[in-house]
Amino acid sequence: MGTQQPAERQLPSRRIADDLRRAIETGELAPGARLPSERDLAGRYGTARNTAREAIRLLADGGLVIAEHGRGVFVRRESPLIRLGNDRYSHKYRESGLSPFLLECAKQGKTGRFEVLSIEQIEPPAEVARHLRLSMSERSVLVRENVFFADADPVHRVTTYIPWEIAEDTGLVNPEVGHPYGIHGIFEERGHVMTRLRESVSARMPKADEARYLQLPPGVPVLDVMHISIDQHGEPYELTRFVMRADLTGLLYDTPIE
């Protein structure tokens, strides 16, 4: 009839995926809705089940849907992100007595909590030593490994490196940091006031152990943030690596141009 030339022969798996994607984008399949089962789709489109399965995989890879074993495949709900802002370290929140993460959670109506996985004294990786400007003779750091939760969800895996010279004889070696303002209160008592922060941000797919710790569904990347605290003398005194699940958390920077 018209000038329209179908020409574009679609792969069956792409066709099914596109149809589903359209249904999701138009709202026909609302967030949380269940998709037709793989067997159902295969029947409707006259394909093998594996082909319908491949279609769903295409959507799951993009994070659009999430499969739950024995239950079905569901359109993913968007959770509002918890945004960690550079503001979280601001001295004006000092009196709140909350550590930066708990502060951000509270601001955003979530209940924050953290679990200490381990606390060790080790020789730091070369990269950490370089950023903390540790000389060969001072290569000893306290490492605290935490998982941060927002409500029930684990959202960050957090590794903090503190030069041993600063950490020794403080509460930092104990799991319970009973200090208002969290560990930063302790740093201040030791004479290090945070006056700058330097954070480098990357994104990538999680490693196997990160996926476990963070209970990450497939198709969700992580933000990988290396945070360095700089004191009033321009000296770095603490380095923290955040691995954050990107479907629940983000970052926010509000800074002057110098």
Which residues of this protein are in contact with a copy of itself, per CB under 8 A?
A: 61-63, 81, 83, 86-87, 89-92, 194-208, 218-223, 246-247, 250-258
How far is residue 142's CA from residue 133's CA, in Å, rounded to a whole number? Answer: 15
Distance CA 249, CA 82 (A): 5
Please tell me whether residue 72 binds DNA under the rule CB under 7 A. yes
DSSP-derived 3-state class of residue 17: helix
CB 193 within 8 A of CB 243: no
Closest among 237, 122, 116 to 177, alpha carbons compared = 116
227 vs 214: CA distance, rounded Å: 20
Size of the chain in residues: 258
Interacting residue with DNA among 48, 116, 126, 201 (CB under 7 A): 48
CB of 97: closest distance to a copy of itself in angstroms?
A: 18
Q: Which residue has the tokens 């999430």?
A: 66
Q: Which of 23, 33, 37, 193 binds DNA (CB under 7 A)?
A: 37
Give the residue, chosen from 44, 50, 96, 122, that forms a contact with DNA under the rule CB under 7 A: 50
Cβ closer to DNA: 17 or 177? Answer: 17
Q: Which residue has the tokens 């110098």?
A: 258
Distance CA 26, CA 45 (A): 21
The only residue of 20, 24, 29, 35 in contact with DNA, by rule CB under 7 A: 35
Closest approach of Cβ 199 to a copy of itself, in Å? 5
In the complex, what is the shortest distance from the CB of residue 75 to DNA, in angstroms, rounded to a whole number? 12
- 192 in Cβ contact with 166 (< 8 Å): yes
Q: How far is the CB of 126 from a copy of itself (least distance, A)?
A: 16
For the CB of residue 163, give the shortest distance to a copy of itself in the complex, in Å: 20
Q: Which residue has the tokens 């999701």?
A: 24
Minimum CB separation of residue 42 from DNA in Å reads 7
Residue 94 makes CB contacts below 8 A (sequence gap 6+) with: 181
Interacting residue with DNA among 23, 49, 94, 190 (CB under 7 A) = 49
Contact pattern from residue 3 through residue 32 relative to DNA, giving x for each residue in contact according to CB under 7 A and a dash for the rest? --------xxxx------------------
Name the site residues for DNA (rule: CB under 7 A): 11-14, 35, 37-40, 46-51, 53-54, 67-73
